Amino acid sequence: MTQHAQHTERRDAVAPGTWDDPGALHTLRELHRSGALAAEYPAVPSLLARMPRSQLPAAGQLLARLDPKEVRRHAPEVTAVPVAVTGHSTVAPVVAPLTAELARHGLLLEAAVAPYGSYLEDLMRPARAEEPQLTLCLLDPQTVFDDVTTPWRVADVAAAARARLALLGSAVRMHQEAGRGLLVLNTVPLLRRFTHQLVDLRSRSRLGAVWRDFNTGLLELAERHPGVVVVDLDPLTGEGVPAYEPRTGQYARARLSDLLLAAYAREAAHVVRARLGRTRKVLVLDLDGTLWGGILGEAGPDGVELGSGLRGEAFQEFQRTVAQLGSQGVLLAVSSKNDDGPVRRTLSGHPGMVLREDDFVRINANWKAKHDNLRDIATRLGLGLDSFVFVDDSLFECGLVADRLPEVAVVRVDAEPALHAPALLADGWFDLFELTEADLERAGRYRTEALRQEFREDTGSYQEYLEGLGIEVVLRPPDDTELGRVSQLTLRTNQFHLATERLQVAQVAEWSERPGHHVIAVRARDRFGDHGLVGALFLRRDHETLRIDNFVLSCRVFSRGIEDACLAAVLAFARDTGATAVTGRYLPSPRNTAFASFYADHGFAVTGTDPDAPDAVFFRHDLAAPAPAPAHLRLDAAFGPFDGDRA
């Protein structure tokens, strides 16, 4: 049997992790019934990945019954997410779908549900000790219409909407000024049950305009407050999700339908995932049946479906979606069971191609297993597999990758190309809080990285390679335009992230403005190009001690001496400003264990742990003999004016 024939035969073969497996819910129920669900919680994401989406609410009901403390006792490695849930009406029904959506990503919801209708008091109160740093505030049509008396006119609704928006604006400002973390609001659907109480069409049009102004005001709250996210419900209701169910709305005061809450929970889970730094960076695509129709090895470049005909246009539209993601910094790669030459000729020369060869940072067209190709791409890019999304139309290939590489997000598309884009976009894998210049330049930088790889292969020793790179490291306080990138590094970097603190832009700005505090941005370049802003140090002066509260560095510049240069610069700054010691803090996470000994390896001694965080380890350097920066690079460090006041 030829390789092409084997490929064709296996595309729809059954494999581990079969999609839309109704038995997955049965397995979950059995685990719950036997009392083993808490202990088996780490296996839940794979069960939910195989489950039809229609079964997720039932799964959420089971998972919401678990005691989070019991789950953490059995599986301390699972990340718990404390969330305060409040709103205008009954909000408890969102807990089950949100539990399921977070569990799909290996997260454990710890929900604190506020009493009915208490949202304004919840937002306006002062901060409390150890409260959740994430608040979901659900708004519904009664947020406005509770203030409208019967009979009413459009002008009455407009007045109520303006007053409610002003009150919400004040509440949001107080929530943010109290430093209570991320706040998630939502736009409010306008229901037919209100529009059609007006019998004249002109009034209905005016009501629609009033309502859109109200939602615009809600969306603008996110522009005014960096710590606010507004989930727009219009795209969800626009795709047919019902906004309201009359019986539960009337009798249970649940003013948003269960289906809309389930869709909202998925969007909210994407926000949580972005906040935890779990945004994906790489999109790896199959070709045959995914980017074009047909099998290239059998039909040839001129025979694939692409650009002409209904299906060819659908494949072309999917490519436009992929290109749009790529234009915003998502790295595109190919893993295809095909011969390399025909693939590159098709990418470069087919008139229907939207994506071209240069749009991909890596093309692996060969006959190796897909999971091996993904490992190769990850190695060459210097990225973890947990930053990858893999798209394929083959059930076999998707199942095999999901089984062999569980950290990879797998998106299975089917034989209908018109549904490829919705499948890819359904989970918001690439969602982030703010797009930065570094995102837009990412693809070019990773293409440059391929040149570094070639240079490395042509040099003898690793030291010779480093000396030939001509690395320059610049340390400076970030300007206002760079705060978003610094925040993004804390949110998205997981490996060299010594204290794993996730900071929004406002928190970075607040830190840098405090007396005795320094935020230092790390920039790097070499003979092949500019790496850009790749790291950040968060320093705090406490009398004669300079504390490194956090140190984060992009994974793409590991092991080139940049981290050593940064630490040497901090020690020199401390000594030059009269400090007698520098302390560092390491807080373990599932992804940063490779750097547990970083401080110890650089002359720091262990001094103890943090009573409030027993896993955190403190280190101290007495500045007696600080090591200089590595000789193979040039260091330019200027930390700004010294402020010796204690924080």
For the record, the structure tokens of 516 come out as: 């005795």
Whether the predicted pLDDT of 4 surpasses 80: no
Q: Is the peptide bond before 151 cis (omega within 30 degrees of 0)?
A: yes
pLDDT value, residue 49: 87
> Which residues lie across from 533 on neighbouring strands?
523
Neighbour-count burial for 83-104, b at 16+ CB within 10 Å, e otherwise: bbbbbbbbbebbbbbbbbbbbb
Amino acid (1-letter code) at residue 142: Q
Most confident region among 86-95, 446-455, 555-564 by mean pLDDT = 86-95
b/e per residue 482-511 (b: at least 16 CB within 10 A): bbbbbbbbbbbbbbbbbbbbbbbbbbbbeb
Letter string b/e over residues 288-316, b meaning 16 or more CB atoms within 10 A of that residue's CB: bbbbbbbbbbeeebeebbbbeeebbbbbb
290: helix, strand or coil: coil
Distances (CA, A) of 343 to 299, 348, 351, 490: 12, 9, 14, 38
Q: Choose between 306 and 441: higher pLDDT.
A: 306
Q: Spell out a b/e string for 410-429, using b for 16 or more CB atoms within 10 Å of the CB, else e.
A: bbbbeeebeebbebbeebbb
What's the pLDDT at 452? 86
Whole-number Å distance between alpha carbons of 305 and 313: 8
Average pLDDT of every residue of the chain: 91
- Longest Cα separation, the chain: 85
Domains 282-425 and 452-637 share a fold: no
Query: What would the mean pLDDT of 479-491 be, rounded to a whole number?
Result: 91
Say yes or no to pLDDT of 77 above 90.
Answer: no
Measured between alpha carbons, how far is 424 from 498 in angstroms, rounded to an integer?
Answer: 33
Residues 295 and 509: their CA atoms lie apart, in Å, by 53
Q: Decide: helix, strand or coil at residue 135.
A: strand
Q: pLDDT band at residue 439, thresholds of 50, 70 and 90?
A: confident
115 C-beta neighbours (distance < 10 Å), count:
10
What are the tens digits of pLDDT across the range 521-546? 999 999 998 999 999 999 999 989 99
Report pLDDT digits (tens) over 257-274: 999 999 999 999 999 999
End-to-end CA distance of the chain: 72
- Helix crossing, 442-458 with 370-381: angle to 10°? 90
What's the pLDDT tens digit per position in 167-195?
A: 999 999 999 999 899 999 999 999 999 99
Topology of domain 452-637, CATH: Aminopeptidase (3.40.630)
Per-residue pLDDT, averaged over 495-513, amounts to 89
> What pLDDT does residue 18 have?
54
Give the pLDDT confidence score for residue 229 in this predicted structure: 96
Residue 50's DSSP bridge partners are none
Strand segments, DSSP code E, in 10-157 are 79-87, 107-113, 134-138
DSSP string, 378-397: HHHHT--GGGEEEEES-HHH
At 215-232, the pLDDT tens digits run 999 999 999 998 999 999
Token couple for 501: 């603190």
Angle between helices 56-64 and 23-33 (to 10 degrees): 10
Query: Average pLDDT, stretch 65-93?
Result: 94
Nearest to 497, CA basis, from 549, 447, 458: 549
Where are the domains positioned within the chain? 14-76, 78-275, 282-425, 452-637
* pLDDT exceeds 80 at position 166: yes
Region 105-127 average pLDDT: 94
CATH superfamily of 282-425: HAD superfamily/HAD-like (3.40.50.1000)
Does pLDDT of 155 surpass 70?
yes
Confidence of residue 431 (pLDDT cuts 50, 70, 90): very high
- With beta carbons less than 8 A apart as the criterion, state whether 152 and 268 touch: no
Comparing 144-158, 428-442, 456-470, 474-488, which segment has the lowest mean pLDDT? 428-442
Query: In this structure, are residues 324 and 424 in contact, taking their beta carbons and an 8 Å threshold?
Result: no
Q: Check pLDDT > 70 for residue 3.
A: no
Concatenate the DSSP letters of all residues of 81-116 into one string.
EEEEEEESS--GGGHHHHHHHHHHTTEEEEEEEPPT
Question: Which two tokens mark 604?
Answer: 């720091």
Distance, CA of 86 to CA of 117 (rounded, Å): 8
- Greatest mean pLDDT range, 140-144, 437-441, 455-459, 501-505: 140-144
Mean pLDDT of the region 296-305: 92
pLDDT at 364 over 90: yes
Q: What sections of 562-638 are H helices per DSSP?
A: 562-576, 598-601
| Lookup: tokens for 33 | 């019934």
Q: Which helix (H) or strand (E) holds 473?
A: strand 471-476
Q: Residue 464's Cα: distance from chain center in Å?
A: 37
What whole-number distance in Å separates Cα of residue 308 and Cα of residue 287? 17
Asked if residue 647 has pLDDT above 70, the reply is no
- Round to whole Å and give the CA distance between 436 and 448: 19
Using alpha carbons, select from 138, 139, 144 the residue that is nearest to residue 207. 144
Q: Which of 532, 530, 576 is nearest to 568 (CA)?
A: 576
Question: Is the dihedral angle over the CA atoms 566, 571, 577, 582 positive or is it negative?
Answer: positive
Pairing verdict, β 581-586 and 362-366: unpaired
- The alpha-carbon radius of gyration of the chain (Å, integer) is 27
Q: Does position 361 have pLDDT exceeding 70, yes or no?
A: yes
Sheet holding 79-87, edge to edge: 107-113, 79-87, 134-138, 182-186, 228-231
Give helix then strand counts, H and E, for the chain: 27, 18
pLDDT per residue as tens digits for the range 581-640: 999 999 988 788 889 999 999 999 999 877 766 788 999 999 998 889 999 999 999 987
CB 306 within 8 A of CB 292: yes
Sequence-distant (≥ 6) Cβ neighbours of residue 59 within 8 angstroms: 25, 28, 47, 48, 51, 100, 103
Q: Which run of H or E residues covers position 532?
A: strand 529-542
pLDDT at 7: 46
State mean pLDDT over 283-294: 97
Q: Hey, what's the torsion of the CAs at 386, 389, 392, 396, to 10 degrees?
A: 20
What angle is formed at CA 363 by the lines to CA 358 and CA 364, rounded to 5 degrees?
Answer: 170
78-275 sits in which CATH class?
Answer: alpha beta
Q: Is the dihedral of CA 64, 501, 535, 504 positive or negative?
A: positive
- Distance from C-alpha of 247 to C-alpha of 239, rounded to nearest angstrom: 22
